[in-house]
């Protein structure tokens, strides 16, 4: 088990290979469908003009994402009525839905760690080589267990997206994950897809 601290350095990232189990500590940001669409349309491609608190949120998340990690997660959060937030359940969501956005988000914000489940495709893998970055696979469904590694909720942005889609700033300690896509072009997901395709063809 390799311990990793956020922000990641390029050396940290380049040293990681597919299959490495890691324990991540530091401050990360959750972001899924609404957040990725918002980031890309408003700031990366500029097809939508910033409105409301967009620019303030942008300034707040930029330093967090620089060399940092984005976590594909829509948590169950307690304390919504008091603002004294606590993560009750916080496993990863399926990452593939962010495929149209992820590479752009990584390059724009210099995101080095993408945390999720199910893996991602060639565009994200290309961004992992360039930035450099890695895809860190958390265990899908292990939500109560993963929530234990969330020490504190530091802030929340875009709560109007709804609890699952908001961007939660969390401090994690020894967050467990496995590297399944690395910065050297390696992807466990591509490998398993190819192998299972041959197995399927043999069965059919």
> What are 89's two structure tokens?
């359940």
Distance CA 1, CA 135 (A): 16
Q: Is 110 in the site for other proteins (CB under 8 A)?
A: no
Q: Is 46 in the site for other proteins (CB under 8 A)?
A: no
Q: Is 140 in the site for other proteins (CB under 8 A)?
A: yes
Q: Which of 26, 113, 176, 186 binds other proteins (CB under 8 A)?
A: 176
Task: Write each residue from 153 to 172 as x if it is in contact with other proteins (CB under 8 A), else as -, in one continuous string.
Answer: --------xxxxx-------
Residue 184 is among the residues annotated as catalytic for this protein: no
H helices of the chain, where? 10-15, 33-39, 54-65, 99-109, 122-130, 143-147, 188-203
Smallest separation, CB 168 to other proteins (Å): 12
Q: Is 78 in the site for other proteins (CB under 8 A)?
A: yes
Residue 32: which of 132, 105, 141 has the closest Cα?
Answer: 105
Q: N- to C-terminal Cα distance for the chain?
A: 39
- CA torsion 99→105→111→113, rounded to 10°? -10
Active site residues: 36
Q: Applying CB under 8 A, which residues contact other proteins?
A: 19, 21, 34, 73-78, 88-91, 93-94, 96, 117-119, 137, 139-148, 161-165, 176, 178, 180, 188-189, 191-193, 195-197, 199-200, 203-204
């Amino acid at each position: 088990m390799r311990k990793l601290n956020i922000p990641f350095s390029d050396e940290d990232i380049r040293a990681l290979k597919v299959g490495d189990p890691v324990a991540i500590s530091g401050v990360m940001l959750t972001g899924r469908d609404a957040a990725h669409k918002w980031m890309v349309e408003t700031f990366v491609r500029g097809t939508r003009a910033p409105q409301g608190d967009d620019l303030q949120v942008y300034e707040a998340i930029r330093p967090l994402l620089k060399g940092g990690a984005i976590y594909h997660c829509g948590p169950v959060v307690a304390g919504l009525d008091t603002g004294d937030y606590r993560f009750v359940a916080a496993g990863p969501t399926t990452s593939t839905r962010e495929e149209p956005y992820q590479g752009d988000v990584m390059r724009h914000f210099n995101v080095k760690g993408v945390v999720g489940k199910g893996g991602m495709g060639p565009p994200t893998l290309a961004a992992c080589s360039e930035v450099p970055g890695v895809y860190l696979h958390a265990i899908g469904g292990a939500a109560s267990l993963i929530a234990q590694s969330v020490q504190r909720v530091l802030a929340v942005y875009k709560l109007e997206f709804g609890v699952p889609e908001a961007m939660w700033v969390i401090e994690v300690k020894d967050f467990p994950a496995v590297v399944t896509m690395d910065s050297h072009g390696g992807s466990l997901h591509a490998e398993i897809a190819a192998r299972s395709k041959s197995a399927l063809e043999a069965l059919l």
